[in-house]
A and B are shown apart, each in its own frame.
Chain A
Amino acid sequence: MILDVRLVPGAFDPAGELAAFAARVPAAGGVVSFLGKVRADSGVEALEIRHYEPMTLPGFAALAQTAARRWALEGLLLLHRVGEMGPDAPIVLVAAAARHRRDAFAATDFVMDHLKSESWLWKRERTAQGWRWIEPRAQDHADRARWT
């Protein structure tokens, strides 16, 4: 069982990371992935994500372990950018590898829903009007409630 959980301070290559992860899970019959990126059509010039070292990564690791206990996985990859990034930049890559695809789909969906609502991350975005902090969305909490 491979749990690869990282905060990434600079740009990363999702395709390369995914290929490397898939190569580490020989018993898996499928790998499901989700890539979140900065929208490029909304007037956002930059996105900054701040984290808190003692809590953010341990929180991600605990989430990965919860998913690994709940589904029959061969591996789980969770990469999240921190720092400042531009339009189209990859923000988050989650991938689950399993012998059978349904476990991989469900685990990926579960991890994303929990990431969106309970990560120790603070985001702000810059538009022509300047920097603005992003508030929590009610939809993110509703998405997480699907799993309880």
Chain B
Amino acid sequence: MDRGARLVFLGRLEDLAGMAELAVPTGPLEQVLAGLDRELAVALLDDRVRLALNGRLLAESGGIMLGAGDELAFLPPVSGG
């Protein structure tokens, strides 16, 4: 079965994207981002935005390859509990 991947937008990024999540094709993250609205793509690549792949925080954002069923979350700075 051919399944894609999913991007998840948290906090203000959800408002900017106009959606909580987006189904995307598998492949390199740069390629996926290139297909998005430019303003959103720039916000997602902000230094302060952390990334989590399938619920695990990533140490760096380079070289990410999205596979079938992967969920990549974009986490802007948290506001505190």
Contacts and interface: CB of A to CB of B under 8 A. Distances in A.
Given A54-B52, A54-B54, A136 B78 contact: yes
Interface string B56-81: 01000000000000010101111111
Given A50-B14, A122-B11, A122-B12, A140 B75 contact: no
Interface in A62-120: 80, 91-92, 112, 115-120
B76 to A, nearest CB: 7
Given A115-B80, A119-B78, A133 B52 contact: no
Nearest to A80: B81
Contacts of A121: 78-81
| Residue of A115, A135, A137 with highest tally of chain B CB at under 10 A | A135
A134 B76 CA distance: 11
Interface residues of B, number: 18
A52 interface: yes
A124 B77 CA distance: 13
Interface in B28-46: none
B8 interface: yes
B81 A52 contact: no
A35 interface: no
A123 interface: yes
Contact of A119 (B8, B54, B80): B80
Contacts of B5: none
Contact of A120 (B54, B71, B78): B78
A61 interface: no
Contacts of B76: 122
A140 B73 contact: no
Interface of A: 36, 50, 52, 54-55, 58, 80, 91-92, 112, 115-124, 133-137, 140
Given A36-B81, A116-B80, A120-B78, 14 more contacts: A50-B11, A52-B75, A92-B81, A119-B78, A121-B78, A122-B10, A122-B11, A122-B76, A122-B78, A122-B79, A133-B12, A134-B79, A136-B77, A137-B80
